[in-house]
Chains A and B, each alone.
Chain A
Amino acid sequence: METYSLTVNGATREVEADPSTPILWVLRDHLDLSGTKFGCGIAQCGACTVHLNGVAVRSCQLPIAAVGDQEITTIEGLSENGDHPVQQAWLAHDVPQCGYCQAGQIMTAAAFLKENPNPTDQEIENAMHGNICRCGTYTRIKAAVKTASNS
Chain B
Amino acid sequence: MLGFPWLASCEMSAEKVKALPKEWFELNGFLKIGDNGLVTIMSPNPEIGQNVKTSMPMIVAEELDALWDDVIVEQAPLNTAIFRRQLAGGSQSIRQGWESLRMAGATARHMLKEAAAKAWGVASNEISTDAGMLYHEATNKKASYGEMASAAAQIEVPESVALKDLKDFKIIGTSRKNVDGPKIVTGKPLFGLDYKKEGMLIAMIIHPPAFGMEFKDMNATAVEQMPGIKAVFTIKTVLDDYAKQWCDTDSFNEIAVVVGATTWQVMQAKKALEVQWVKASEKVEKIQGFGGNSFDAKVPSGLENTSDHEKKMAWMDTQKAKTVRKDGNPEAMFKKAATIIERTYTCPHLAHNTLEPMNFFADVTEDQATLVGPIQTPEAMEKSVAHRLGMPVEKIDIQMTRMGGGFGRRLYGHFLTEAAAISQEMKAPIKLIYTREDDMTQGSYRPAYRATYRAALDQENNLIAFHVKAGGVPESPLAANRFPAGALDHYLAETWEVESNISVGAFRAPRSNFIAGAEQAFLDEVAEATGKDPIQFRLDLLARAQSNPVGENNDYDAARYAGVLELVREKANWGDNDSGLHRGVAAYFCHNSYVANVLDMVVENGQPVVEKVYCAVDCGIVVNPDAAINLSEGGIVDGIGHALYSAMSFKEGVPQQQNFDTYRLIRHSEAPKKIQVDFVQNEIAPTGLGEPTFPPVIGALANALYRATGRRHYNQPFITDKPLVG
How far in angstroms is the closest Cβ of chain A from B413?
18
Q: Return chain B residues, CB-CB under 8 Å to A97.
A: 49-51, 630-631, 634
Q: Do B661 and A44 touch across chains, with their CB atoms under 8 A apart?
A: yes
Q: Verify B354–A134 contact, CB threshold 8 A.
A: yes
By CB atoms of chain B within 10 A, which of A36, A37, A99, A125 has the most?
A99
Q: Are A92 and B660 in contact (CB under 8 A)?
A: no
Does A88 belong to the interface (CB within 8 Å)?
Answer: yes
Proximity string of chain A (97-126) to chain B, C-beta cutoff 8 Å, 1 when within and 0 when not: 111111100100000000000000110111
A7 located at the interface, meaning its Cβ lies under 8 Å from any Cβ of chain B in the complex: no
For chain B, residues 171 to 188, give those with C-beta under 8 angstroms from any C-beta of chain A.
175, 177-178, 180-182, 184-188
User: Chain A at the B interface: mostly helix, strand, loop or mixed?
Assistant: loop
Give the residue among B268, B406, B637 with the most A Cβ atoms within 10 A: B637
Which residues from chain A contact B667 at a C-beta distance below 8 Å?
Answer: 129, 132, 138
* Most central of A22, A36, A42 by chain B CB within 10 Å: A42
> Contact between B626 and A94 (Cβ–Cβ < 8 Å)?
yes
CB pair B634–A100 under 8 Å, yes or no, is: no
Partner of B356 from A17, A39, A41, A128 at Cβ < 8 Å: A39
Q: A87 and B186 in contact (CB under 8 A), knowing A25-B264, A94-B630?
A: yes
- The answer to whether B314 has its CB under 8 Å from any CB of chain A is no
Tell me if B's interface is mostly helix, strand, loop or mixed.
loop
Q: Which listed residue (A37, A47, A87) contacts B185, Cβ 8 A?
A: A87
For the complex formed, measure the closest distance between the CB of A135 and the CB atoms of chain B, giving whole angstroms.
Answer: 5
Q: Would you call B186 and A47 a contact (CB within 8 A)?
A: no
Q: Are A88 and B6 in contact (CB under 8 A)?
A: yes
Judged by a CB distance under 8 angstroms, whether A61 is at the interface is no
Judge if B725 is at the interface, Cβ distance under 8 Å. no
CA distance A63 to B489 in the complex (A): 67
The interface residues of chain B lying within 8 Å CB-to-CB of A29 are: 202, 262-264
How many residues of A are counted as interface, with CB atoms below 8 angstroms from the partner's CB atoms? 67
B212 within 8 A of A: no
Chain B contact-residue range equals 35 or more
Q: Across the interface, do B189 and A34 meet the contact criterion of CB distance under 8 Å?
A: yes
| A106-B185 in contact (CB<8A) | yes
B355 touches A36 (CB 8 A): no
Q: Residue of B at shortest CB range from A127? A: B668
Which of B186, B268, B665, B672: most chain A Cβ within 10 A?
Answer: B186
Contact A18 B659 (CB under 8 A): no
* B364 part of interface (Cβ distance < 8 Å): no
* Residues of chain A within 8 A of B402, CB atoms compared: 98-99
Q: At the interface, yes or no: B638 with Cβ under 8 Å from chain A?
A: yes
Interface contact A139-B633, CB-CB below 8 Å: yes
Whether the Cβ atoms of B355 and A103 lie closer than 8 Å is no
Whether, in the assembled complex, B48 has its beta carbon less than 8 Å from a beta carbon of chain A, the answer is: yes
Residue among A1, A93, A141 with max Cβ neighbours from chain B (10 Å): A93
Cβ of B598 to closest chain A Cβ, rounded Å: 16
Distance to closest chain B CB from A60 (angstroms): 10
Q: A149: CB under 8 A from chain B?
A: no
A134: nearest chain-B partner, CB-CB = B355
Known: A92-B1, A132-B667. A100 touches B191 (CB 8 A): yes
Chain B residues, Cβ within 8 Å of A99: 49, 178, 180, 184, 190-191, 402, 404
Contacts of B268 in A (CB 8 A): 18, 20
In this assembly, does B417 line the interface, its C-beta being within 8 Å of a C-beta of chain A? no
Q: When chains A and B are docked, how far (Å) is the Cα of A134 from the Cα of B2?
A: 25
Are the C-beta atoms of B177 and A37 separated by less than 8 Å?
A: no
Question: From B641, which residue of chain A is reached at the shortest CB distance?
Answer: A136
Q: In the complex the two chains form, is A98's CB within 8 Å of B193's CB? A: no
Residue of B nearest to A101 (CB): B355
Query: Is A75 interfacial (CB 8 A cutoff)?
Result: yes
Closest to B188 in A: A35
Give the contacting residue for A96; candidates B181, B265, B433; CB below 8 A. B181
A142 in the interface (beta carbon within 8 A): yes
Q: Is the CB of B10 within 8 A of A91?
A: yes
**Cβ-defined contact, B263 with A98, below 8 A:** no
In the bound complex, residues from chain B placing their C-beta under 8 Å from that of A121 are 673
Most buried by B among A32, A44, A100, A147: A100
A38→B267 CA distance, assembly (Å): 13
- The answer to whether A13 has its CB under 8 Å from any CB of chain B is no
Q: Is B194 an interface residue (CB 8 A)?
A: yes
Residue A76 is within 8 A (CB to CB) of chain B in the complex: yes
CB–CB A30/B181 < 8 A: no
Interface string of B44-74 (1 = CB under 8 A from A): 0001111100000000000000000000000
B357 at the interface (CB under 8 A from A): yes
Interface string of A59-92 (1 = CB under 8 A from B): 0000000000000001110110010000110111
In contact, B193 and A38 (Cβ under 8 angstroms): yes
Return chain B residues, CB-CB under 8 Å to A34: 187, 189, 193-194, 196
Chain B nearest CB, measured from A77 CB (Å) = 9
> Does the CB pair A136–B671 fall under 8 Å?
yes
Closest to A130 in B: B667
Residue of B6, B433, B627 most packed against chain A (CB within 10 A): B6
B1 surroundings in chain A (CB, below 8 A): 92-94
Contact: A37 with B356, CB < 8 Å? yes
Check if B357 sits within 8 Å of A136, measured CB to CB. Answer: no
Q: Is the CB of B637 within 8 A of A98?
A: no
- Determine the chain B residues whose CB is within 8 A of the CB of A38 once the complex forms: 193, 357, 433
A42-B660, A92-B1, A94-B177 in contact; A139/B672 too (CB < 8 A)? yes
Name the CB-closest residue of A to B626. A94
Chain B residues, CB < 8 A from A142: 668
Of B177, B356, B405, B672, the contact of A91 (CB 8 Å cutoff): B177
The 10 closest A-B pairs by CB, nearest first: A35-B187, A136-B637, A100-B404, A98-B49, A75-B187, A97-B49, A44-B660, A99-B184, A138-B671, A125-B669
